Amino acid sequence: MKKFAFVFAALISFSILKAQDKIIVNADLGTTTINKNIYGHFAEHLGNGIYGGIYVGEGNTKIPNTAGVRNDIIDALKKLKIPLLRWPGGCFADTYHWKDGIGPKADRPSMLNVWWGGVTENNSFGTHDFLNMCKAIGADPYLAANVGSGTVQELADWVKYVNFPEGSGPMTQLRAKNGQKEPWNVNYWGVGNEAWGCGGNMKPEYYANIYKQYATFMASTKDRPTFKIASGANSDDYNWTEVLMRDIPTEMIDGLALHHYSVIDWNKKSSATAFTEEEYFTTLKRAWKMEELVTKHSTIMDKYDPKKKIALVVDEWGGWYDVEPGTNPSFLFQQNTMRDAMIAGLSLNIFNNHASRVRMANLAQTVNVLQAVILTNEEKMILTPTYHVMEMYNVHQDATLLPTYLTAGNYENGTDKIQAISTSASKDKNGKIHISVVNIDPNTKHEINLEMRGQKMGKVTGRILAAAKIQDHNSFESPNKIVPVVFKDFQTTNTGIKFTMPPASVLVIETIE
């Protein structure tokens, strides 16, 4: 009897281990839409993010461009289906005066970019340039307004300049004089940036009052209401969220921002490429922190806004490392490895799964800065592993979130551990179901049993992003070292499929009944 009990216990233990990584997708229980703006991006006047990156000048004959914006970047961002682009900052936004960036370029005054390297900003890329670029790539613009050093009148004028119909007053006359008769109808407006830091070092009570003052004079039109986004918390500053939700009436605010970077230590960051596994583990642990942050900030918001009218807007997120050797430390240019692909896949799964509250997020940043999706060097351009993850994941945009239940093992490093598998699932308007799965464990393959409930699983296809090492990256010499490839290694089971995730990989599965 004892022998039988031992064998039975061993079989149970073995069964638990074999079933440890399991995903259950409830295909018939989806009610929440994954807002496409979760897949937004952020472009600041920082380093070579705008100049030398997105914008090369209208007189540039070496690099093909449209009105000074690189054609290859326009094409790449259109393929990415980028839904939203935040501009002009960042810290830069609270020193930016929009009227300096309109009119004939030769007449635009220069300024000192005090935040990012003390370089001269000539304002050749301004409101018209940005908004016309957004139209070219099919993205909605998100304008970050100057609250730190600007005025209420300045912001009120900017809203009228870009949104009001011709003949509505002096701002629309000025717009027409500068070559744009019809309004752009910009929906999304950030009322300041990081008011707790570079945006003014304010206390939340003070900023709440300032926000209400500025928001009061941001007039809407019948065709385009202004979606106002308050400068929200720095990572786990829950008191900031509490005060703003308490002090700002819900009818005056549409979104509340949150900023969180996956950085090891602000005083001692790791190399973007020559990092250790311990540094990799710590970075991914910081990325997993997003789950806790979104949950706790949402809980505070639920107390004041139970109907979830106000969106949680994660308008700065991504990995932050040391700059590449030999580059300007203030330009924040870093390479992009499989570690960044892990951060992207994990973070996007978190945002998807919290889609009832998280309705916008902006990766920092689009080109040549921090966790960029594109890197440029003169006429050369490469797509990073992060680009490929976001391209694979764009199938979730405006799809219906499907509840998933995950049982997963851990990725261990010494005595510490984090969950190794992350997932989210959705059903699009054509009935196709997509399941995105990330294995952040760099050492171990993970066997996944995927069970579909509420719908039969039909033909299954997949695309995977993986590499030999977590430090691997695309370079200007080898631009296609890491690209998505077709994944076919699925085994049919009684309830769904079984497959094995390689170490440090991202997989997107598609199926339709």
Q: Which residues pair with 317 in a beta bridge?
A: 260, 363
The CA distance from 257 to 288, in Å, is 19
Please give the helix or strand (H or E) that residue 437 lies within, else none: strand 433-439
Task: Please name which of 144, 152, 165, 137 lies closest in space to residue 74, comparing C-alpha atoms.
Answer: 137
Choose, from 44, 121, 316, 391, the residue flagged as catalytic.
316
Residue 497 in contact with residue 460, Cβ under 8 Å? yes
What are the structure tokens assigned to 159, written together? 């809203």
Block residue for tokens 């490469």:
382
Rg (C-alpha) for the chain, rounded Å, is 24
Based on the residue annotation, tell me whether 316 is a catalytic residue of this protein. Answer: yes
3 state SS of 320: coil
* Those residues with Cβ within 8 angstroms of residue 471's Cβ, 6 or more apart along the chain or in another chain: 273, 274, 275, 337, 338, 339
What are the structure tokens assigned to 97, written together? 């005066």
Query: β-pairing, 374-377 with 485-487?
Result: unpaired
Based on the residue annotation, tell me whether 412 is a catalytic residue of this protein. Answer: no
Task: Please name which of 419, 298, 425, 284 lies closest in space to residue 353, comparing C-alpha atoms.
Answer: 425
3 state SS of 297: helix
Cβ count within 10 A of residue 443: 12
What are the structure tokens assigned to 362, written together? 């902006």
Block residue for tokens 């900017």:
158
Choose, from 44, 121, 194, 391, the residue flagged as catalytic.
194
Q: Tell me: cis bond preceding 90? Omega within 30 of 0 counts.
A: yes
Q: Backbone phi, then psi, for 177, in 5-degree steps?
A: -60, -30
What are the structure tokens assigned to 319, written together? 């990995």
Cα-based angle 435, 439, 442 (whole degrees, multiple of 5): 160
Task: Please name which of 370, 332, 382, 391 lies closest in space to residue 70, comparing C-alpha atoms.
Answer: 382
Please give the helix or strand (H or E) that residue 490 lies within, else none: none
Residue 438 in contact with residue 346, Cβ under 8 Å? yes
Please identify every residue annotated as catalytic. Answer: 194, 316
